[in-house]
Amino acid sequence: MYSTLDTTVSSLRGQVALVTGASRGIGLETARQLGRLGISVITAARDLAKAELIANELRSEGSSAIPLKLDVTRKDDREATYAYLAERYGRLDILINNAGVWLETDNAAQRVPNQTSSLSLGLLHQIFEVNFFSVVGLTQTLLPLIHKASSARIVNLSSTMGSLALQADPSYPYYSHKIFGYSASKTALNSFTIHLAQELRETRIKVNSVHPGWVRTDMGGADADLDVAEAAQIVVNFATLPDDGPTGGFYFGNQKVPW
């Protein structure tokens, strides 16, 4: 069982966490829950007004929340994020790579025929830009600050739809729900998790891919299984793993997800 129960809340107090895509959905709720643990949360959103709105909301609940403009696809925003964190904190303890897009249907609940053979390369690029390249770019940019934390955690928001084993398994409940661009982008993200965790294995930085469940958000749709609070708790558990917790894994709750 990997849970914040294993990590004393006092050791989390004063830590600094950056949550991308904190404007709504799982990102917003993850920022809220991290704030409740006494962690200073950077509510990063591509629209600064939204980031400020959320930071104000979390501050009114007693959290330390700081808004930041971050369109993850923009190199200048990623570099400005590094400069801001370096100047203000000199380190980053927790990076939640949450921002993501689902562009092939209205939301994850909508069933459409498999369109792999006709998916436009333009759309595929757009999906990979947010779900994969930006995660790699932001993480690489911030790694010098993450190395400066005494113990750091990187959580990559993945999906069971990115599991190659499940995509190929006819008994997987979503086997017939083939959304190629999104799934492939999360498969690539999982590869990043594996490779980065292996490179950092001798450090105190843990890197994991986490499936938050099928969640009632704009992306998940109204009929999804989990509410955002349940999903964010799963993310927060991996953001606050104890030092003997896992790295380089793919999890849903306490369960390992096959790659």
**Is 57 one of the binding residues for ligand NAP (CB under 6 A)?**
no
**Is 167 one of the binding residues for ligand NAP (CB under 6 A)?**
no
Catalytic site includes residue 182? yes
Catalytic site includes residue 178? no
Shortest distance, position 67 Cβ to ligand NAP, whole Å: 13
**Is 239 one of the binding residues for ligand NAP (CB under 6 A)?**
no
Kindly tell me which of 73 and 203 has the beta carbon lying closer to ligand NAP. 73
Q: At residue 177, what are phi and psi to the nearest 5 degrees? A: -95, 80
Tell me the β-bridge partners of 155.
96, 208
Among 218, 243, 254, 258, interactor with ligand NAP by CB under 6 A: 218
Among 16, 54, 92, 219, interactor with ligand NAP by CB under 6 A: 219
Shortest distance, position 139 Cβ to ligand NAP, whole Å: 14
The per-type count for the chain, helices as H runs and strands as E runs, is 9, 8
Tell me which stretch binds ligand NAP (CB under 6 A): 4-12, 67-75, 81-89, 115-123.
67-75
**Is 214 one of the binding residues for ligand NAP (CB under 6 A)?**
yes
Instruction: Give the angle 63-64-70 at the CA atoms, nearest 5°.
Output: 115
Handedness of CA 63, 64, 69, 70 (dihedral sign): negative
How far apart are the two ends of the chain, measured CA to CA in Å? 20
**Is 166 one of the binding residues for ligand NAP (CB under 6 A)?**
no
Q: How many CB atoms lie within 10 A of CB 50?
A: 17
Q: How many CB atoms lie within 10 A of CB 16?
A: 23
Kindly tell me which of 206 and 211 has the beta carbon lying closer to ligand NAP. 211
Q: At residue 246, what are phi and psi to the nearest 5 degrees? A: -80, 160
Catalytic positions, written as ranges: 182, 186
